[in-house]
C-alpha cells in the first residue's frame, strides 16, 4: 500500500465515514462492534491492513487493567483466546458472562477510527480477530440494544454498511475476496 493510498483512506475515514450517522441511528450505542468489523472487512478486500480493537471509552468499564484481568482470569495469553474460552462456556452452559465491550474501534495506520471519524482515546487490547468478532456479534446481552432496535435489525444494518462502505471506498480498488461478502461480489 502506498503513502498516497494511506492518505486517501485516512481522509475517507475522517471525512466521509462519519456520514453513516445520518443513515444509521445510534451506531455508537451498541453498533460500534458491527461498524468496526464491517469497516475492517471493507478495507481488507482492498488490501489495506487494519484491525478491530477494544478502545478506552470516556465513561466506560473497559480499561487496560480490566482487559488484562479478563485475560488473566481466563488463564489465556491474549484477548482472542480469552474470548474464545468465554464463547465455549456460553455454548456449553447458555450463561452469558458479564463481558463489557464499552467501545470497539478500527485501528488503521496507528490511529483509531469509529463512526465519528478519528477516535481520541487509546486502544486497550491487541487486535481482535475476525473469527472472534463474528462470534462476539452473535452473543446476546453483550451489546447495548438501542442501535439494533432503531435500525430494523442486524441484517438490514449489515446491508446498509456494506453499501455505504462500497460507495465510500469506490476510489480504492478491491484486490482480495472475502467468502460470503456482498462487497467482494459487487466490486470485482
User: Would you state the pLDDT for residue 108?
Assistant: 94
pLDDT at 188: 29
* DSSP code at position 12: I
Query: What is the predicted pLDDT for the residue at 152?
Result: 64
- Based on DSSP, count helices (H) and strands (E) in the chain, helices before strands: 8, 4
pLDDT score of 186: 35
Please tell me the predicted confidence (pLDDT) of residue 121: 87
pLDDT of residue 81: 86
pLDDT of residue 113: 94
List, in sequence order, the alpha helices (H) in the chain. 3-11, 32-44, 64-74, 79-93, 130-138, 146-149, 154-168, 182-186
List average pLDDT for each run of 10 residues in the chain, which is 188 residues long.
Answer: 82 90 79 89 92 80 74 84 83 73 88 92 89 80 64 75 88 75 38
Amino acid at each position: 500500500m502506498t503513502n498516497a493510498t494511506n492518505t486517501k483512506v485516512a481522509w475517507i475515514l475522517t471525512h466521509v465515514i462519519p456520514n453513516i450517522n445520518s443513515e444509521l441511528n445510534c451506531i455508537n450505542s451498541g453498533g460500534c462492534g458491527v461498524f468496526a468489523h464491517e469497516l475492517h472487512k471493507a478495507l481488507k478486500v482492498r488490501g489495506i491492513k487494519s484491525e478491530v480493537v477494544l478502545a478506552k471509552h470516556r465513561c466506560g468499564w473497559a480499561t487496560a487493567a480490566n482487559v488484562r484481568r479478563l485475560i488473566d482470569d481466563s488463564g489465556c495469553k491474549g484477548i482472542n483466546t480469552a474470548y474464545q474460552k468465554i464463547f465455549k462456556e456460553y455454548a456449553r452452559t447458555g450463561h452469558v458472562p458479564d463481558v463489557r465491550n464499552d467501545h470497539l474501534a478500527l485501528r488503521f495506520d496507528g490511529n483509531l477510527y469509529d463512526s465519528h471519524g478519528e477516535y481520541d482515546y487509546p486502544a486497550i487490547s491487541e487486535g481482535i480477530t475476525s473469527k472472534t468478532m463474528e462470534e462476539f456479534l452473535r452473543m446476546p446481552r453483550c451489546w447495548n440494544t438501542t442501535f439494533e432496535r432503531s435500525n430494523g435489525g442486524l441484517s438490514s444494518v449489515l446491508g446498509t454498511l456494506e453499501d455505504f462502505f462500497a460507495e465510500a471506498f469506490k476510489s480504492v480498488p478491491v484486490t482480495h475476496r472475502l467468502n460470503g461478502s456482498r462487497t467482494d461480489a459487487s466490486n470485482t
